[in-house]
Amino acid sequence: MRGIPLAWQQLTREKRRFAAALAGISFAVTLMMMQLGLRDALYKNATKVHDRLRGDLVVVSAEYEYLFSTRNFSQRRLYSALAVDGVAGVAPLYAGIGVWKNPVSRAEHRILVMGFRTDAPVFDFPEVNTRLREINQPDVALWDANSRHEFGPIAALMAAGPLATEVNERRVHVAGLFRMGPTFGSSGHVITSDLNFLRLFPDRREGLIDMGFITLAPGTDPARARDAVDAVLPSDVRVMTRDEFIAVERGYWAEHLPIGFIFNLGSLMGLIVGGVIVYQILYADVVDHLPEYATLKAMGYSDRHLFGVIAQESWFLSCLGFIPGFLVAQGLYWLMQTQTNIPIDMTVTRVVSVFLLTLSACALSGAIAMRKIRQADPAEVF
């Protein structure tokens, strides 16, 4: 027993209390990792469509808020950018929320439909760009194979033969698949040509697009090109770089909706829960061993030395409680990804951040509990 730290002996002396402390810390770690993981998945999924769109600059309506709340503008604004030096090409994009009919159950679900000119591709999907001739045919589209399961077993049905279903009550032939996956705004996606998009949305006027993408000549500075294009175009449209376009989407979900705040609040609550549990355990331990601490002080041990014992207990609790919490969170990540098709990854940054937060909460709780040691008067042993 001589080589075993005093802090460890005190923690393990009360097995049930020790187990309860580890369980509480593990729960707090799992809660923080789930909240932070969901928050990061939200931001990542919010820009999943943006990440697969080509273009150095993006032109949107001046009233643009986020992808699922776009405002139409004339494509003449986009083509006017061709007069600016450094602009190599432009590509318009139509986007709208449609209704997909499950070909098996006939149930209807909302999807995001996107249409583009096949002579000006806007997507960074090899599966899409190799089927431009097909989607140029009337009522032909491509389906996102990573969409949610409620839309039907589309990939399996296509393997068995040609597939047709309905989008906005219009018969559509599915010519192929691409893979992107659901986002928090849309659970399924359809890509087709601009003419087929207008067939699916007869109330939309040709030439009123939702987004425009500008490709710059090699060596052109995007920021300068943005300012030059913005100076040419009227004030009813907005010109952004690709990074600014993605930042606007993330900012909308983080600042204009309560989701980001809820996830951050959940992480804070997990941190508080873990800190309170550790404080109660350490405080109870100090109270139970107050005569022993007084005896050590009578033998010449300083408060600083005794504080070190409590600090070691905090360290042991934070490290041992973190491991099962991490493993449980990893399992929940896997379960969520398999059930929702929403990628939620365990990043090194998140692991380190949660561990440091756990360690800080335990250290703070230990520091508060240490105040009780100052009351350990050596006279109490007599």
Half-sphere exposure of 154 (CA within 13 A, CB side): 28
What pLDDT shows up at residue 57? 95
pLDDT class of 377 with cuts at 50, 70, 90 = low
Residue 177 pLDDT: 93
Residue 36 is predicted with a pLDDT of 82
Long-range contacts formed by 107-112: CB under 8 A, 24+ apart: 107/150, 109/148, 109/150, 109/151, 109/187, 109/188, 110/186, 110/187, 110/188, 111/147, 111/151, 111/167, 111/186, 111/187, 111/188, 111/189, 111/190, 112/49, 112/68, 112/185, 112/186, 112/188, 112/189, 112/190
**% of the chain residues with pLDDT over 90:** 41
Whether 327 has a pLDDT exceeding 90, the answer reads yes
| In contact, 208 and 370? CB cutoff 8 Å | no
Percentage of the chain modeled with pLDDT above 70:
86
**What is the residue extent of each domain of the chain?**
6-45+258-381, 63-234
User: What's residue 162's pLDDT?
Assistant: 86
Residue 117, pLDDT > 50, answer yes
Gap between the Cα atoms of 54 and 107, Å rounded? 33
Instruction: Classify 306 as helix, strand or coil.
Output: helix
Residue 201 CB neighbours (<10 A) = 19
Q: Which of 75-84, 121-130, 221-230, 358-367 has the lowest mean pLDDT?
A: 358-367
pLDDT of residue 77: 93
Q: What is the pLDDT of residue 297?
A: 66
d(CA 298, CA 359): 31
Give 177 or 272, the one with higher predicted confidence. 177
Residue reference for tokens 């919010």: 46
Indicate the pairing of strand 211-216 with strand 170-178. Answer: unpaired
Average pLDDT over residues 240-262: 81
* pLDDT of 136: 93
Asked if residues 333 and 345 have their Cβ atoms less than 8 Å apart, the reply is yes
Residue 152 tokens, joined? 């039907």
Is the Cβ–Cβ distance between 181 and 187 less than 8 Å?
no
| Window from 47-51, 95-99, 320-324, 373-377 with minimum mean pLDDT | 373-377
Cα distance between residue 278 and residue 149, in whole Å: 43
Single pTM value for the model: 0.72
Instruction: Please determine, for residue 39, whether its predicted confidence score (pLDDT) is greater than 90.
Output: no
Select, from the ranges 11-25, 127-141, 255-269, 360-374, the one with the highest average predicted confidence (pLDDT). Answer: 127-141
The helix, strand and coil proportions of the chain, stated in percent and rounded to the nearest 5, come to 55, 20, 25
Q: What pLDDT sits at residue 1?
A: 42
Please provide the average confidence, as pLDDT, over all residues in the chain. 84
d(CA 310, CA 153): 58
Does residue 258 register a pLDDT over 80? Answer: no
> Per DSSP, what are the bridge partners of residue 207?
none
Res. 347 pLDDT band, cuts 50 70 90: confident
Per-residue pLDDT tens digits for 18-32: 788 788 888 888 888
Instruction: Grade residue 290 by pLDDT with cuts at 50, 70 and 90.
Output: low
Q: Which residue has the tokens 């931001």?
A: 43
